[in-house]
Amino acid sequence: MKEDVIHSWSTAWINNLNRHVNKEGIELQKMILGMEILLHNIPKMVLMFTIALYLGILPQTLATWFSFVIIRRYAGGMHAGNSITCTIMTLLMFVAVPFILIGTQISAGIFLLTFAIIGLGLYKYSPSDTAARPILGKKKRAMLKKRAVVASFFIMALGLLLRNEILYGLFAAGALYALVTVLPLTYKVFGASMNNYEGYE
């Protein structure tokens, strides 16, 4: 029922917007899907940031989430099977872990080594798709792979520029989350299908 309501709202809002942008076919469907994703995620984000604010760790949560989102935008990766699981994982990753990491410092050397491993992992395994959103086109996958690696080194460079040993750990945690979601082992453990584009090309 909830899925139907979100789909109906998304379709109605995008159809109204489309009177001005005049998209059709696959482009229109992408807009509707994007709106659905946004509506699904807004409640989770509000909950996450509200709890982080209550616990006094909003900056830590934002740093970890920022690192994850910047990389995941290009790397893709597995999604939780349902909204409840997604919410629980979101709170664990971006509230519980930053709370545990309060005051934890890592050296610049460990930070660099961690991001070197992350960059190599992203180069080998990203981008990774889902059955609902296969990544179609060899050129597009190559472009996303390159951007995922560049995004990881952007986060690394930003961390080094800020020179904060606590921030190193938070940035590394977010980037590691992004890497883990694209690993074949993660897909295997959760029984999800990889390389879904192969069924379309």
Q: Flag whether the pTM goes above 0.75.
A: yes
Q: Is the pLDDT of residue 196 over 90?
A: no
Q: Is the pLDDT of residue 123 over 90?
A: yes
Contact call for residues 29 and 7 (beta carbons, < 8 A): no
3-state secondary structure of 76: strand
Cα–Cα distance between 109 and 2 in angstroms, integer? 47
Task: For 136-164, write each residue's pLDDT tens digit.
Answer: 889 999 999 999 999 999 999 999 999 99
Question: Prior bond to 127 cis, omega within 30?
Answer: yes
Q: Is the pLDDT of residue 1 over 50?
A: no
Task: For 11-70, write each residue's pLDDT tens digit.
Answer: 666 667 767 766 666 666 666 666 666 767 788 889 999 999 999 999 999 999 999 999
DSSP H stretches of helix in the chain: 2-21, 26-55, 58-75, 83-91, 97-100, 108-125, 138-162, 165-180, 184-189
The one-letter amino acid code at 136 reads: L
Q: Is the pLDDT of residue 183 over 80?
A: yes
Q: Is the pLDDT of residue 188 over 60?
A: yes
Sequence-separated (6 or more) residues with CB below 8 Å from residue 75: 122, 126, 127, 128, 144, 148, 151, 178, 179, 181, 182
pLDDT score for 134: 83
Q: 76 versus 24: which is more confidently predicted? A: 76
**Confidence band of 179 (pLDDT split at 50, 70, 90):** very high
pLDDT score for 4: 62
Q: In terms of Cα–Cα distance, which of 188, 173, 180 is closest to 122?
A: 180
